[in-house]
Amino acid sequence: MRINLYNRQLKIKCFVVLNFIRKGLSVKKSHIIITTVVVTLLVVSVVGMLIRRKISASRKGIVVRVEQAQRGELIEFVSAPGEIEPKTKVEISAKFSARVEALPYEEGDIVTGGNPDANPPVPASVLVRLDSKDLESQLLSAQAGHSAQEAQIEVEKSRIAGQQASLRGLEASLKQAERDMERQKGLLESQDISPATFDQTQLKVDDLKAQYDAAKHMLEAAKLNLVVLKYNLEAAGARITLAQEALNYTTITSPIDGVVTRLNAEVGELVITGTMNNPGTVIMEVADLSQMLVVAQVDEADIGKLKVSQKATVHVNTYPDQEFKGVVDSIALAHTTSWTQTKYFRTEILLETVNQTLHSGLTAHVDIETHKHTDILKLPTQAVLGLEVDKLPLKIRENSSQVDTAKTYATVVYRYVKGKAVVTPIKIGQSDLTHTIIKKGITAEDKIVVGPYIVLEKLVHNQKIKDEREVESKKKKKNADRAKAGADANESKDDGKG
């Protein structure tokens, strides 16, 4: 009715305008006015059609997707990005600076750590050979120094033996001098010798005592020097061991069974040892690819939910159609700060053995199962909406125990009741990636509007809606009836011709 009224008013205006044109307006102005009128009429007609369609759609009801709440289980997940790494990997570095003489293995080659208990014993794979000329010279020098120390000890022993003999001779001379002095002491008292003669004897005794004490101290010093020489001999032996060990490091063997995953050096290059500010040269990396893990970066907000041995599902970007299973193997006790200055905890997920080759360094996404809820009522998360409390109908707002009037928003769903959307406040629990636990507010028998989401956003209480399944069923039935009617009509025509 409103659209028809608009059209009549437009026709009257057009008639009036045309009368003005007939009364003497210029041709150019008349064309402009006519064009304006036609455009205005078209716009009003289009708007009228849209309004009419909207009114018609609202009367018929919006088609929605309706489902019943499901009773089952829901698993909570903690999601985190990660990277594929071998569980065991070893970086091969040199213990001293030297040039690389040989690299027998290339990237991808299989190596072994050896098995001495096998029959026959299996030697370890030689990964690197370094230039050993300087170390061989150092070993020879250390061995020569050790031999010199041994000879010096023998010399010192002989010197000690000579000093001991000299000390015994001095001791005998001193005793003889002391006896002579005692005899002359008696002669001096009887005045058979002069005091000068006694003084000469006394001087001889004192001189022999001094010589004896000096020889005794020299002997003690020689013995102490022998101890020092013995320690020097041990130090020379340690230098031989050190030189021999360094020489042994010129041949580097594989410490584990695995695969050469990275080769950083070339034959002829100089490798250096690490220092506090210089990590040194990593010649190659050997990894055991039979056990792979995902190093996940778990946010600090979720780390408290994780435990060792929890199940995990891993998605690798390289294999989008595959899922890999694993378990939490270790959780870091201290956080790490990323380049974006966010804190995360390194969590290792040990993957189950799979036939698919997983390359080290692949990007992955991990979903770790933290809690499993059983025998619960759940709905698709899309169906759970947040609605302002003030927009709820007064009766629902005042009588529903799930509505907290102190809060701004209430959690609601729309039930499908007799062709209408009925807003229903609910109480929810935990969620997973697709569903949310419903604790109160609905039952498993209630039909809930779950989509489309663009319709859910605009849905209002008591709005007319249609279940898409019912609409599709009626459509199929209507098409079937038409087909049957057409078949009957064709049959009747054929009978008439006959």
Query: How far apart are the C-alpha atoms of 242 and 82, rounded to whole Å?
Result: 43
Residue 252, C-beta contacts closer than 8 angstroms, at least 6 positions apart: 92, 94, 126, 127, 128, 129, 130, 283
- Total residues belonging to the chain: 498
In this structure, the dihedral spanned by the alpha carbons of residues 192, 197, 203 and 209, taken in order and rounded to 10 degrees, is: -40
In this structure, the dihedral spanned by the alpha carbons of residues 466, 471, 474 and 478, taken in order and rounded to 10 degrees, is: 120
Contact between 374 and 352 under an 8 Å Cβ cutoff? The reply is: no
**Quick check: helix, strand or coil at residue 252?**
strand
Q: Which residues, listed in sequence order, are joined to residue 63 by a DSSP beta bridge?
A: 466
pLDDT tens per residue across span 248-260: 888 999 999 999 9
Query: How far apart are the C-alpha atoms of 325 and 350, rounded to whole Å?
Result: 9
Within 13 Å, how many C-alpha atoms sit on residue 460's CB side? 4
Report pLDDT for 306: 94
Average confidence (pLDDT) over 262-282: 80
Report pLDDT for 443: 92
Report pLDDT for 32: 67
Residue 374 dihedral angles phi and psi, to the nearest 5°: -115, 155
* Mean per-residue pLDDT over the chain, rounded: 84
Helices (H), 333-452: 394-399
Report pLDDT for 78: 93
Say which residue, 26 or 390, is predicted with more confidence.
Answer: 390
pLDDT at 322 over 50: yes
Say which residue, 367 or 26, is predicted with more confidence.
Answer: 367
- Whose tokens are 């990275």? That residue is 262
Say which residue, 490 or 216, is predicted with more confidence.
Answer: 216
Q: Which residues, listed in sequence order, are joined to residue 52 by a DSSP beta bridge?
A: none
Contact between 78 and 480 under an 8 Å Cβ cutoff? The reply is: no
pLDDT at 21 over 60: no
Contact between 127 and 252 under an 8 Å Cβ cutoff? The reply is: yes
pLDDT at 7 over 90: no
Say which residue, 392 or 495, is predicted with more confidence.
Answer: 392
Report pLDDT for 494: 62
